[in-house]
Amino acid sequence: MSEQRSCVIIGIAGASASGKSLIAQTIYNELMAELDAAEIGVISEDCYYRDQGHLTMEERIKTNYDHPRALDHELLAEQLRALSRGEAVDIPQYSYVAHTRTSETIHFLPKKVIILEGILLLTDPLLRELMDASIFMDTPLDICLIRRLQRDVEERGRSMDSVLQQYRDTVRPMFLQFIEPSKQHADIIVPRGGRNRIATDMIKSRIRHLLLD
């Protein structure tokens, strides 16, 4: 039997650079205008990459970041349950440059609406159980690769060669093995990426409806 929930949790999954953060941020910004700003928040699955402080940089670079074992989904599920019970949590912070957690955490207060976004969220039954609605961003992989290449070089301190090698070695194979099949668990499949206006409005309507339940 599932626990009683005091907040609405929406899960957004899909390939890396498929537009998960963009749509999550858009929904957040637009609903913030209706709800109190303190009543809605976004949590990224990336915060739950495992700490790799005990590994050398050479070893960290070899980690497969697109396999479910790279993420501490147990901690994520535990923190979501705590938030649902009305308790605050300390969310770990992750550095894509150092490939490990930072020493900081973010103190996150309970909200009425939590938008959760991340590549592997729908692969995990523990997490699916906690979601009130699930979304899969179905952006073509070639578009995702172009966007990831640009973003990782500009924002995540990466070289073009390292992004392309990682894409061939792990990102694409893990997408095909884990992420793409997890689409079957989504309630809504969003084509074309983070600027799909009709999909964004539908998700907002669903959230409003869930808030009235």
Ligand X SMILES: Nc1ncnc2c1ncn2[C@@H]1O[C@H](COP(=O)(O)OP(=O)(O)O)[C@@H](O)[C@H]1O
In one letter, which amino acid is 144? C
**Beta strands 113-117 and 100-108, pairing class:** unpaired
Is 11 among the residues that bind ligand X (CB under 6 A)? no
Choosing from 47, 66, 123, 199, the residue that interacts with ligand LLZGTKA7 (CB under 6 A) is 66
SS3 191: strand
As beta bridge partners, residue 92 has: 105
Is 65 among the residues that bind ligand LLZGTKA7 (CB under 6 A)? yes
Number of other residues whose CB lies within 10 A of the CB of residue 68: 16
Q: In whole angstroms, what is the distance from residue 65 CA to residue 49 CA?
A: 8
Nearer to ligand X, 17 or 110 (CB): 17
Is 113 among the residues that bind ligand LLZGTKA7 (CB under 6 A)? no
Site size toward ligand LLZGTKA7 (CB under 6 A) is 11
Number of other residues whose CB lies within 10 A of the CB of residue 30: 13
- The span of 77-85, 106-114, 172-180, 192-200 binding ligand X (CB under 6 A) equals 192-200
Q: Which does 11 bind (CB under 5 to 8 A by kind): ligand LLZGTKA7, ligand X, none?
A: none
Nearest to 11 by CA among 99, 96, 73: 73
Is 48 among the residues that bind ligand LLZGTKA7 (CB under 6 A)? no
Is 17 among the residues that bind ligand X (CB under 6 A)? yes
- The span of 12-20, 106-114, 134-142, 187-195 binding ligand LLZGTKA7 (CB under 6 A) equals 12-20
Nearer to ligand X, 27 or 113 (CB): 27
What is the contact mask toward ligand X in residues 139 to 168, using x (rule: CB under 6 A)? --------x---x-----------------
Q: In whole angstroms, what is the distance from residue 49 CA to residue 17 CA?
A: 17
Find the Cα–Cα–Cα–Cα dihedral 71, 53, 16, 135, rounded to 10°. 30
Nearest to 199 by CA among 209, 187, 211: 187
Is 17 among the residues that bind ligand LLZGTKA7 (CB under 6 A)? yes
Q: Which does 96 bind (CB under 5 to 8 A by kind): ligand X, ligand LLZGTKA7, none?
A: ligand LLZGTKA7
Q: Which residues contact 60 (CB under 8 A, 6 or more apart)?
A: 52, 98, 99, 100
Binding site for ligand X (CB under 6 A): 14, 16-22, 147, 151, 193-195
